[in-house]
Chains A and B, each alone.
Chain A
Amino acid sequence: MANEFFPLFYTFHFYLFGLVALVGAIVFITRKSPVAAALWLVVVMAALAALYVLLGAEFVGMMQILVYAGAIMVVFLFVVMLLNLGHPSELNDIRGKWGRLAAGLIGLALVAELMALSRSAVTLSVTLPARPPADVIASPGGVIGSIADPLFNEYLLAFELTSILLLVAIIGAVVLAKKRSA
């Protein structure tokens, strides 16, 4: 409903959250304290979730917050706090001039890639999809039906294989933990 009336509102927030995500990401990689860096990463993830919601992918946006900001980053923080890595001034990820040089080169390559992409035929203008109408929301499955249907019908085998992969990882973690304690 709001889309037809407020294109400016949507576009403004799209660029606002895009800016927040970019600035958050830059601050995140320049922090030396691991806890501060982790918190800035949470900011990036929240901004990304907002972008997904603005683009009409509400389910993906919520999963972004639930899984990344709410579960994975909490575990990250937990580990960082337990490790107690020492004073931030002693920490530095990039060691030596070769490390710095390689990092700079990779960064330049990525920027060049972006420039090349912006000159290609791919349209980069933002087109916002319409919000789902009320009858879709009230139908069985709701707005996530369009994700659930192919996932559990067409791609069921791939889905089950992925879950087995995760199961293997869990069992591996248990085995490793047991070895250390013995």
Chain B
Amino acid sequence: MITPDLFLQVANPQGDPSLVVFVIGTVVKMVAIFTIYMVGVAYTTFAERRVSAWIQDRHGPNRVGPQGILQVAADGIKNIMKEETYPNFASKAIFILAPGLVFVPAMITWAVIPFGSPLPTPWGRIDLVVADLPVGFLFTLAISSIGVYGIVLAGWSSNNKYALLGGLRASAQMVSYEIAMGMSTVCVLLLAGNVSLNQVVAQQSQMGWNAFLLTVAAFVFLISAFAETNRVPFDLPEAESELIAGYHTEYSAMKFSMFPIAEYANMITASALMATLFFGGWDIPFTQWDNAGPWTVLKSVLTFGAFASKVLFFIFFYIWIRWTLPRFRYDQLMSLGWKLLLPMTLIYVVIVATAVLALDMAGVTRGPLFGGALFAINVVLMGVILFILDRGRLISPAHSRLDASGVDQLRSVSRDRIKLARKGT
């Protein structure tokens, strides 16, 4: 006779769980992540408004509930109650499908992101990742590459020139920056030697965070992540001064609301990827205590806290950048992606591969010394890159670029002009 006891029998908390526990655990993790993620997305929209208000010295939404925390619910109700409109001659099926297609890829990526050390339960060990795919890393790349469909189709199906232009801009932009993003993550693979995200986290706890070992790659990944999520300074697809609202011009009510929701969902996912690939994932810095068994509940809670605080920092960083920088021009965006980031990352991959090979051949074990050597290389490279990018604006200030003779020359020119003007009168 089959009873629940048969499946849920007490097992070694450090060992593999039975199949039934594995399935139940996975379902629980899916529900938990979905809930946390949706609440997180809702409150990121709220955080954006409050942080922008703080940066611009305003109050922001603070009337609905204490400190305005119920504003999110009010917005949701408003959007659901509004009338839905459909533009004439729009391709209706795709028009309805597009808002969902924008949101779903951002959500699926969470399936492979590890968010804590394994949790021991009386029924066996539960890994704190929904699906620990052996190709988890490639999965994130693949899913992020299909994220562009929603935006392109929204633009195309609206039967509106501005929407179509927004959609085309989005597809060109996302395809361009995907290449730089993929090339920057190649360096992570070179170090980790594996495409499982758990192994990437393990490598970082052993050698130090990739943000220090591969600073240039982290820098490129950060820029590309901004472009991939269509956030300022790369929000060209919805540049309101040129394209009204870009690809979602024709959308209304909840279907319109899905686009901002998707934008914030993408932002959280990109933050989580940034944290996992370059900032150690759930690794707690400066300690090795959290990286090895025996696993305890306390370790799971603390590592989840470490992961969450890293993700929250990057969400804040996104908002911070949005209210600090102006928008790029479209040709600047393209030349940054193709003429600067791509060649830079290609050269960087060669440098990192050479360094890793040289260190391996010199017999340096993968540990702090290995990390230190890579860090030294990166400090030098970062200095060179920032010096080139700077073009003498910050490191050598503007006033020092003209020497004394140059200033005299300019003054004499203006003096001559004044004389000429006086003669003319």
Contacts and interface: CB of A to CB of B under 8 A. Distances in A.
Interface of A: 1-2, 5, 35-36, 39, 42, 58-59, 61-63, 65-66, 69-71, 74-75, 77-78, 81-82, 132, 136-138, 140-144
Given A42-B149, A69-B145, A5 B19 contact: yes
A81 B156 contact: yes
Given A5-B19, A78-B172, A81-B167, A70 B194 contact: no
A58 B156 CA distance: 33
27 contacts: A35-B91, A39-B153, A42-B149, A61-B135, A65-B142, A66-B141, A66-B142, A66-B145, A70-B148, A70-B178, A74-B148, A74-B152, A77-B149, A77-B152, A78-B171, A78-B175, A81-B152, A81-B167, A81-B168, A132-B134, A136-B134, A137-B194, A138-B196, A138-B199, A141-B194, A142-B135, A142-B199
Interface string B117-147: 0000000000000000111001101110110
Contacts of A70: 142, 145-146, 148, 178
B355 to A, nearest CB: 18
A146 to B, nearest CB: 11
Contacts of A132: 134
A142 B138 contact: no
Given A66-B141, A74-B152, A58 B193 contact: no
Contact of A74 (B19, B164, B175): B175
Describe B's contact surface by its main secondary structure: helix
Given A66-B141, A66-B145, A143-B134, A82 B199 contact: no
Contacts of B107: none
Contacts of B111: none
B50 to A, nearest CB: 35
B168 A58 contact: no
A140 B139 contact: no
A35 B178 CA distance: 23
B70 interface: no
Interface in B155-178: 156, 164, 167-168, 171-172, 174-175, 178
Interface in B189-233: 193-196, 199
Given A59-B138, A71-B145, 10 more contacts: A62-B138, A65-B146, A66-B138, A70-B145, A70-B148, A71-B175, A74-B175, A77-B171, A142-B134, A142-B199
Nearest to B139: A62
Contacts of B152: 74, 77-78, 81
A181 to B, nearest CB: 16
A142 B196 contact: yes
A74 B138 contact: no
A142 B171 contact: no
Contacts, number: 96
Contact-size category for B: 20 to 34
Contacts of B167: 81
Contacts of A42: 146, 149
A78 B195 contact: no
A129 B408 CA distance: 80
Interface centre among A1, A2, A136, A138 (most CB of B within 10 A): A138
Contacts of A137: 134, 194, 196, 199
Nearest to B141: A66
Contacts of A69: 142, 145-146
B293 to A, nearest CB: 14
Contacts of A71: 145, 175, 178
Q: Which of B16, B142, B175 has the most CB of A within 10 A?
A: B142
Given A65-B146, A138-B199, A35 B134 contact: no
B134 A58 contact: yes
Residue among A69, A77, A142 with max Cβ neighbours from chain B (10 Å): A142
Contacts of B138: 59, 62-63, 66, 144
Given A81-B156, A138-B199, A74 B171 contact: yes
A39 B135 CA distance: 26
B142 A62 contact: yes
Contacts of A36: 94
A66 B167 CA distance: 20
A57 to B, nearest CB: 10
A111 B164 CA distance: 41
Nearest to B22: A1
Nearest to A69: B146
A76 to B, nearest CB: 11
Q: 10 closest A-B pairs (Cβ-Cβ)?
A: A70-B145, A62-B138, A142-B194, A65-B142, A143-B134, A66-B142, A58-B135, A140-B193, A137-B134, A62-B142
Contacts of A77: 149, 152, 156, 171
A143 B199 CA distance: 12
Given A58-B134, A140-B193, A142-B194, A78 B19 contact: no
* Of listed B22, B143, B149, residue having the most chain A CB within 10 A: B149
A42 to B, nearest CB: 7
Nearest to A141: B193
A5 to B, nearest CB: 5
Contact of A142 (B19, B143, B146, B195): B195
Contacts of B139: 62
